[in-house]
Amino acid sequence: MSRRFNRGFVLLPCVLTVFGAALAPDADPAPAIPILTIDDSIINPVTAEYIMDAIDRAESEQSSALVIELDTPGGLLTSTRMIVKKIMNAKVPVIVYVAPSGSRAGSAGVFITLAAHVAAMAPSTNIGAAHPVEMGESPGNNRDSLKDILEGLKKEKGQKAEEEKKKVKEPADPMSEKILNDTLAWVATIAKERGRNVDWAQRAVRESVSAGEDEALRLGVIDVVAKDLEDLIVKMDGKKVRLAERETTLHLAGVPQIRMAMSLRQRILNVLINPNIAYILLILGFYGLLFEITHPGSWFPGIAGLICLILAFYAFQTLPTNYAGLALITLALVLFIAEVKVVSYGFLTLAGLTCMFLGSLLLFDTTADFLRVSLRVVAPAVLSTAAIFVFLISLAVRAQRRPKASGVEALVGMVGEVSVDLPKGKVTIDGEIWNAVSGMPVLKGEKVRIVAVEGMTLKVEKL
């Protein structure tokens, strides 16, 4: 009896342990890896807010890492600095992956990729061309033309392009020089901190060089080439990275992933900051004000126009706006309003269209194509405006040629009814009785048309 009791006493803890393990809740799973997507988007304050908020969330949830799938032509230097600063001080590893195939990390994308704890690229992608053109250079800068000349000399004389480029002086504008030198020092610091190719990083800024994924890997610009996100996770699992405060090892295999999209507010604001959208809103705002001024009391066009203008000016405070271009477009609106008020036979419309076209081209002071208004947007806006005013002018000309609609002259062409037999009698026109004469007899009740007015007597003809 005592042996059975002792045996049961020994087995009881084992049984309880097994049942306890079965009934105990599962351990908390590892936090999901946030995946951000910058899909052919300009780096701007909204993009910066999106990335910075995601890093804060990843830090609060203690995620294993954060991945940014990057495809950008470039963007604003101020926003880029904010993103880079956040990544450099992040408490979680940030992986920048230039993907999918065909994507690019241009201009601002170079700084963001270099600042990442892990820099990766997909096949058929490229990185480079980080010269800060959008931060102060004017379209008249001679740097590009000098480079073209040097390329021509290279072809003719067989000289090396690198030797000739050393002879090219930097832009004479002191502000451009300061911005360039500051950017060079900044990108060198980023590359050195992450152990990447400092010389290539500075050439990407100074000479706008670019590299494909294989060349970037060979030069030490990036850490890995991965065909897709799953391949990237496998290759980077177990890699050691250095954060701002400590060194950590990436544990990515088997960790769930979650796509973090922009909020509705961020998506709307990100669309508004697009130069083409901002320009369209500006033109629609001017159209609304023009209609309200020419048709007072309509209300809706005027209110809608003001809303469009406010949204456009929100974008202008972020984009490199040239206020000379904005002034020309405003002058065009004034000339269009004057065309409606005075007779200029189309001269004011022509002047307004000229101002509108030139102002549209000058609206954003930058040589970066992705920060300028496309001609595919400018041309339809100008042509549609021209079509509207040609139509309005034609209506005005027709109105001037139309017979007067008041006085006795307005009676010519009207139809009346004979109230006293003609050739000399009376007719009724719109309830009024007039003396009338006719070249032939017309009986009472028959219809006649007025052909002329002589004093107070109407000349009519039988219908």
**Predicted confidence (pLDDT) per residue in 228-258, tens digit:** 999 999 999 999 999 987 889 999 988 999 9
Distance separating alpha carbons of residues 83 and 433, to the nearest angstrom: 86
pLDDT digits (tens, 9 = 90+) for 272-329: 988 999 999 999 998 898 888 877 777 888 899 999 999 999 998 888 888 899 999 9
How far apart CA 366 and CA 229 sit, in angstroms, is 35
Radius of gyration of the chain (CA): 38
Q: In what order do the strands lie in the sheet with 118-121?
A: 224-225, 118-121, 94-98, 66-71, 33-39, 257-259
Active site residue 178: yes
Residue 134, pLDDT > 60, answer: no
Alpha helix (H) ranges present in 101-250?
Answer: 108-115, 143-157, 161-165, 174-193, 198-206, 213-218, 229-236
Q: Which range scores top for mean pLDDT: 13-27, 382-396, 422-436?
A: 422-436
Task: State the pLDDT at residue 405.
Answer: 52
pLDDT band at 120 (very low <50, low <70, confident <90, very high): very high
pLDDT digits (tens, 9 = 90+) for 257-266: 999 999 999 9
User: Of the residues 178, 227, 444, 447, which is catalytic?
Assistant: 178
Task: Record the pTM.
Answer: 0.70
What is the distance between the alpha carbons of residues 124 and 374, in angstroms, rounded to a whole number? 27
Using the predicted structure, report yes or no on whether residue 109 has a pLDDT greater than 70.
yes
- Identify which of 19-28, 100-109, 403-412 has the greatest average pLDDT: 100-109
User: Which is the catalytic residue, given 79, 107, 360, 438?
Assistant: 107
Per residue in 408-430, is it b (16+ CB within 10 Å) or e — as a string?
eeebeeeebebeeebeebbbebe
Residue of 143, 141, 114 lying closest to 211 (CA atoms): 114
What distance lies between CA 404 and its chain's CA centroid? Answer: 51
Side-chain half-sphere of 184: how many Cα atoms within 13 Å?
13
| pLDDT: which is higher, 233 or 135 | 233
3-state secondary structure of 441: strand
The pLDDT of residue 170 is 46
Query: Rounded CA gap, 276 and 381, in Å?
Result: 11
Higher pLDDT, 69 or 76: 69
Span of 48-62, 86-100, 312-326 with lowest mean pLDDT = 312-326
Q: For residue 169, what are the CA distances in angstroms to 68, 137, 144, 146, 434?
A: 37, 15, 12, 9, 92
Rounded Cα distance between 422 and 449, Å, is: 13
Mean pLDDT of the chain: 82
Neighbour tally for 179: CB within 10 Å: 17
Long-range own/partner contacts, residues 386-392 (CB < 8 A, 24 or more apart):
386/349, 386/353, 389/336, 389/339, 389/346, 389/349, 389/352, 389/353, 390/346, 390/349, 392/339, 392/340
Whether 164 shows a pLDDT value over 70: the answer reads: no
pLDDT of 91 above 90:
yes
398 burial level (CB within 10 Å; 0-12, 13-18, 19+): exposed
Kindly state the tokens that stand for 317. Answer: 């405070």
Residue 90 · residue 55 · CB < 8 Å: yes
Phi, psi of 416 (to 5 degrees): -130, -175
Q: What pLDDT sits at residue 19?
A: 45
Q: What pLDDT is stored for residue 283 in this prediction? A: 92
pLDDT at position 130: 80
